[in-house]
Chain A
Amino acid sequence: MKAYMIDLMVTAAPHVRDRRKTSHIMRDVLISLTPATIGSLVIFSFGHPLGVIIVSVISSVIAEYIGNFFFRKKSTLNDLSAGVTGLLLALVLPPSSPYWMVVIGAFTGVWLGKIIFGGIGSNPFNPALVGRAVLMVSWPTFMTQWIKPGFIMTISSATPIDSVTTATPLGIVKLQGYSTLIGYFGSRANLYKALFLGNVGGSLGETSALLLLIGGIYLLVRKVIDWRIPVSYIGTVFVLSWLFGRDPIFSILAGGLFLGAFFMATDYSSSPITPKGKIFYGVFIGVLTALIRQFGPYPEGVMFSIIIGNAFVPYFDKMVPHIYGVFQKKEVKE
């Protein structure tokens, strides 16, 4: 027997791991948001909106860094999750948001929404939506000021965009009714087309259903998100709007539903982990969204529905999957 230099590493099985890590998942989310982000810049003609996105991302990353430093935690910047939060926050803000407000939104979102709960994976609420909710109740005027989509402006008039305000399609429906809205656009087909491409007023990233759908499908194909939440959420809004006598197709295309359903409600740490729980969670926030839109004071209900849904996640997590070979139903209680 030969003599060997033995320097063996002993670890527990399994000795192979999937190559996909947390940072890859976050990178996929960033990639999936690229069409909507670039689209928003084109729709609202660069300039100020670009600043909103940059300020939001940078302040979120800084907020995460300071938060980790303050709690003496290892830096979690490498997992890219702070960047995702910053980008998502920018996309749910009005394009004309003042930069100081964006900074406050990013810091409150990251700190109140994430850091104080223990950082990535422990946040019970979606940090970007926490940031938006705080801004919404603090500066409602800024948060409900919508500018007209830019690339229509460049064709029809030379007015500087900052001075032209409008209302979101859902806002018009709330105040003036659906027929008035169709009147503005000429026909129902034109309205759908505008909602699809994003030629309407609204938050930076929410206007184009098409671009969000592309990103959502990318996430589904890459298996980053599960189909259950977006499908049950959008499906519920579709059915309920139809029952309320609204135009169901308009209802799912308008507002922040696609952005919320694909990118916000599917946030890992603030959504259920069991397959059955995901479906009921989607239905639950779908019901809330439809109710707020129909009966609430706000024209749009996606943000509040998701935040309320987040609070109920521990309940949905109790809808445990079937365990092989266990036949009588037992609820898991903590």
Chain B
Amino acid sequence: MKLFTYSPGGVHPEEEKLTKDKPFVSLSPPAIAVIPLSQHTGASNAPTVKVGDYVKIGSVLGTSPQFVSAPVHSSVSGEVIAIEERVVPAGNKIQSIIIKNDFKEEWVELNSLRSLEGVKPEELVKIIREAGIVGLGGAAFPTSVKLTPPKLKAIDTLIANGAECELYLTTDHRTMLEFPDKVIDGLLIEMEIVSAEKGIIAVENNKIDAAEMFENRIRERDIKNVEVVLVKTKYPQGGEKQLVKAILKKEIPSGGLPLDVGVIVQNVGTLKAVAEAVFEGRPLVERGVTVSGTAVSKPGNYIVRIGTPVSDIIDALGLSKKLRKLIFGGPMTGIAQATIDAPVVKGTSGILMFGEEAFDMSPEEESPCIRCASCIDSCPMGLMPTLIDYAWRRQDLKLSEKLKATDCIECGVCSYVCPSNRHLTENIKKAKQGVIKQNKIEAAKQAAFEKLKAQQEKKRAEKEAQK
């Protein structure tokens, strides 16, 4: 197996993969499931059930006619007791369906395919869409949309992303070890859909066991067009853009998508979900979640129903010390929670719990930038974080844009390396949002101006005609 990596930039912190040897264990379903109506990036869903309805596991709770969306399904059977706004991991409140679990575990009827023979790509995309599958790596972008590239853009390569470069998280690692065939099936299905010639499974070289597992399965199943590659253990190796550059030596153009260079990158967990949707008919109602950190008594990898409030998980696994920091996602990009109410959603790859030591892990107080250039040397996008930070502090959106703040992938590396504790990632995110907002306003102004001009010209033409 060849070893690939991107350059320049990146860091290699302590990996802290405490749970990599712990097989998946199913967590009991919640007594009350809180299922946010929209758990993806894109248009929000409207509810398809009302209070008092009886739902089964897999019943559709909300959909949207919009293209960039994915329906949500019930993860328990029982009665809808409320439809109200509830806190989600992102910190805001979203319309959610609250279901009282009757623990009968009744499923809706599942329709599955035996093989892909004679099935049209559009039908497969439809199955994936109806199963509510989104990117399970964290971004939660609807998978069906990724698999419907504009006609002109031919896809030649599909990359299964098993890099899992985030610290602590081991969900993808366990998925690869325990369900390698499902991951390969998912990859083959997606290659079929976009008629890609080549499939690549990329695994970081701290998970050689997973890579070997895939090699063996591919050899035994005699699959010719799928290759396993190792990528160097380095953060953020699993970033879509970094992975494409590492393996294919191509750069995705600024503001573009992997499909601009003929590639689709899919998380291995997503591929497993795709295989389950197609061959078992199962919608996305549960997912693998790593629960780790220093404050949880029983860290491990768990199969958790979507909609399980994190308080239920704390009840089930116990705390070893006073909880001071609760993070959804990994420590580099995850979101710190203010409450323990948020439920597990489709994009939840990990839940981390820390005690008082979280203060030392990420001190708050900033000191002046000493121009050491660590952030510049380690930025995987080649940006100059400290300058964007200064631009943002001066509210200089023009300079932020010139410095390409909008190209930031928000990986957190600049803040991580900064010896002065400066909140670089946080400020660059703000600068990025500021620039995007500004550009939208400018575009709207421009459009309004054009409209006005057109109207005036029309009036003038009418007057001329009257004369």
A-side interface residues toward B, CB under 8 Å? Answer: 1-2, 4-18, 20-22, 24-25, 76, 79, 81, 118-122, 226, 268-269, 271, 273-275, 320-327, 330, 332-334
Contact = CB atoms under 8 A, between A and B. Distances in A.
Given A8-B325, A25-B372, A321-B376, A334 B399 contact: yes
A126 to B, nearest CB: 12
Give me the 3 closest cross-chain CB pairs, A-B, nearest first: A14-B412, A12-B426, A325-B254
B371 A269 contact: yes
B207 to A, nearest CB: 20
A14 B359 contact: no
A9 B368 contact: no
Contact of A12 (B8, B252, B325, B425): B425
A273 B370 contact: no
B314 interface: yes
Contact of A18 (B11, B323, B373): B11
A323 B382 contact: yes
A8 B404 contact: no
Nearest to B379: A321
Nearest to A331: B402
A268 B373 CA distance: 8
Interface stretch (B47-55, B63-71, B98-106, B331-339): B331-339
Contacts of B373: 226, 268, 273-274
A22 B370 CA distance: 8
Contact of B361 (A8, A12, A17): A17
Interface in B326-356: 326-327, 329, 331-340, 352, 354
A119 B402 contact: no
Given A20-B419, A327-B254, 10 more contacts: A5-B322, A8-B338, A10-B336, A11-B336, A12-B426, A16-B416, A18-B11, A25-B419, A121-B368, A325-B256
23 contacts: A4-B314, A6-B323, A6-B339, A7-B322, A10-B338, A12-B426, A13-B412, A14-B415, A15-B325, A15-B331, A15-B332, A15-B358, A16-B361, A22-B370, A118-B368, A119-B368, A273-B386, A275-B8, A275-B377, A321-B8, A321-B384, A325-B254, A334-B399
Q: Determine the interface band of chain B, counting residues with CB < 8 A from chain A.
A: 35 or more
Contacts of B256: 325
Interface of B: 8, 11, 13, 167, 241, 245, 251-256, 311-312, 314-315, 322-327, 329, 331-340, 352, 354, 358-359, 361-364, 367-373, 376-377, 380-384, 386-387, 399, 402-404, 407, 410, 412-413, 415-421, 423, 425-426, 429
A252 B403 CA distance: 38
A320 B387 CA distance: 11
Contacts of B412: 13-14
A24 B419 contact: yes
B311 A4 contact: yes
Contacts of B336: 8-13, 15
Contact of A323 (B312, B367, B383, B426): B383
Nearest to A224: B372
B390 to A, nearest CB: 10
Contacts of A10: 336-338
B324 A121 contact: no
A121 B371 contact: yes
Which interface residue of A2, A13, A326 has the most chain B CB atoms within 10 A?
A: A13
A241 B412 CA distance: 45
A268 B371 contact: yes
Contact of A330 (B371, B402, B407): B402
A14 B322 CA distance: 21
B421 A17 contact: yes
Contacts of A24: 419
Contacts of A330: 402
B323 A15 contact: no
Contacts of A271: 371
Nearest to B361: A16
A327 B369 contact: no
A163 B369 CA distance: 46
B416 A17 contact: yes
B407 A324 contact: yes
B407 to A, nearest CB: 6
A121 B370 contact: yes
B368 A122 contact: yes
Given A10-B336, A14-B362, A323 B381 contact: yes
Contacts of B421: 17, 21
Contacts of A323: 254, 381-383, 404, 407
Contacts of B399: 334
Contacts of B376: 273-275, 321
B315 A1 contact: yes
A20 B363 CA distance: 12
Contacts of B329: 13
B56 to A, nearest CB: 24
A5 B322 CA distance: 9
A259 to B, nearest CB: 20
B253 A273 contact: no
Given A16-B416, A121-B369, A325 B407 contact: yes
Contacts of A332: 384, 387, 402-403
B419 A22 contact: yes
A7 B376 CA distance: 36
Contacts of A18: 11, 13, 416-419
A13 B370 contact: no
A8 B340 CA distance: 9
B199 to A, nearest CB: 24
Contacts of A8: 323-326, 336-340
Contacts of A322: 382
Nearest to B309: A1
